[in-house]
Chains A and B, each alone.
Chain A
Amino acid sequence: MRPEQAVVAHHFEAMGTACSLFAVGRPQSCLVLGERWVHDLASRLTRFSADSELSRLNTRAGEWVEVSAELEAVLRAAERAYELSSGLVNAAVLPSMLAAGYTRTLNAGATTVMLERARPAPALPEVLRVRPARARIESGAGIDLGGIAKGWMADRLCEVIGPNAVVNLGGDLRAVGAGPQGHGWPVGVAGVTLLLRDQGAATSSVRRRRWGGAHHLIDPRSGLPADTGLEEVSVVAASGFEAEVVAKTALLVGPGVAPAYCASHALAWWLDGRHDA
């Protein structure tokens, strides 16, 4: 067996959640730079700050807005997520999230739930247009990048820190390289350790970020908080972004279809839900 190599680790809080970076053969300063990258990008992609790049795009709906290369890339990832999920992972659910009361970070507390105002989300291609260095959101629409951004950021940061590293941003993670022992990085998925190598993992759940009978995971078909019978899905896929998309899609399609869906889209998976569903 190959001797275990020393792992450097760095833990911090960002995007309202716990983040961890691990690497073999890299200095600690590299991980600290990774934390700065996460904070910088998160501050530009959040919808909870009025002066973020995403908020400027949302508030200037109806006109073309210049966007950075990073926001353009994440918006294109949102388009890709919409395609991969046949419309179930839809970044245009922001108006429904606001109607559900998710108007500010949960640390600040949710506001009033007004689900009677919720509407099915528009098709993303009808309200979001992305061109090189600019983007446009149609009037009345809004974009929330949420988990898509976390999965995308985990993938990008892992490439930068690599070639032997793990990035975990609030449960959306990406592992590249052979890990400390040469067999892959040991990552916990639903209580089981799996060795991931050039793969990603994510968990989608309606058990966290709940308030007043609502939660953050909106079903774009109804505009209401999802209630499919599935409550939590963990997935391993080829990347953190892909795992995020597959986990959320599986949760939204419900327990009848999710096993077959995961069998064709995931490398490993775990489903949990209401057992009366």
Chain B
Amino acid sequence: MRPVLLKFAATVLTLGATFASAVFVTSHLKNPVAPLQPPVLTGTSALGGAVVVGPSVQPSNQPPITSTYAS
């Protein structure tokens, strides 16, 4: 008798968890305007084109104090 009760309880628990998960997922829809990471849609990557700058780097009009270059 006891194993049958345990199986029944496990089945109820599984079905309950499945139902709760389905409710949770459908009530938290994907945000279609969430930003893409990394920002592959900004800037151009054509050869010799503009520098592509991600959001953690800020462009400036200041003269550079030093530069990266091929050596």
Which residues on A are within 8 Å of B, measured CB to CB? 7, 9, 16-18, 20, 22, 166, 168, 170-173, 180-181, 183-196, 199, 201-205, 207-208, 230, 232, 234, 236, 243, 255, 258-260, 262-264, 266-275, 277
Contact = CB atoms under 8 A, between A and B. Distances in A.
A170 B71 contact: yes
Interface stretch (B1-9, B20-28, B43-51): B43-51
B70 A269 contact: no
A187 B51 CA distance: 13
A277 B47 CA distance: 10
30 contacts: A22-B65, A22-B66, A166-B65, A171-B70, A185-B65, A187-B64, A187-B66, A188-B67, A191-B51, A192-B50, A193-B62, A194-B60, A195-B57, A195-B59, A195-B60, A199-B56, A203-B71, A204-B70, A234-B51, A243-B68, A255-B47, A267-B56, A268-B52, A268-B54, A270-B50, A270-B51, A270-B52, A271-B46, A271-B48, A272-B48
- Size range of the interface on B? 20 to 34
A183 B70 contact: no
B68 A269 contact: no
Contacts of A193: 59-64
Given A188-B68, A230-B47, A273-B48, 20 more contacts: A171-B71, A183-B60, A184-B60, A186-B63, A193-B62, A195-B57, A199-B57, A201-B68, A232-B70, A234-B68, A243-B68, A255-B47, A259-B45, A263-B45, A263-B52, A268-B51, A268-B52, A270-B50, A271-B49, A275-B48
B53 interface: yes
Contacts of A204: 70
Given A193-B60, A193-B61, A262-B45, A188 B66 contact: yes
Contact of A173 (B40, B50, B66): B66
Secondary structure of the A contact surface, majority rule: strand
Given A187-B64, A193-B61, A264 B38 contact: yes
A262 B64 contact: no
B63 A273 contact: no
A195 B61 CA distance: 10
Contacts of B39: 263
A199 B38 CA distance: 17
A264 B49 CA distance: 19
Contacts of A203: 68-71
B58 interface: yes
Contacts of A194: 51, 53, 57-60
Contacts of B53: 192, 194, 267-268
Contact of B71 (A18, A166, A180): A18
Contact of A183 (B45, B47, B58, B68): B58
Nearest to B36: A263
A188 B38 contact: no
A42 B47 CA distance: 34
Nearest to A147: B71
Contacts of B66: 20, 22, 166, 168, 173, 187-188
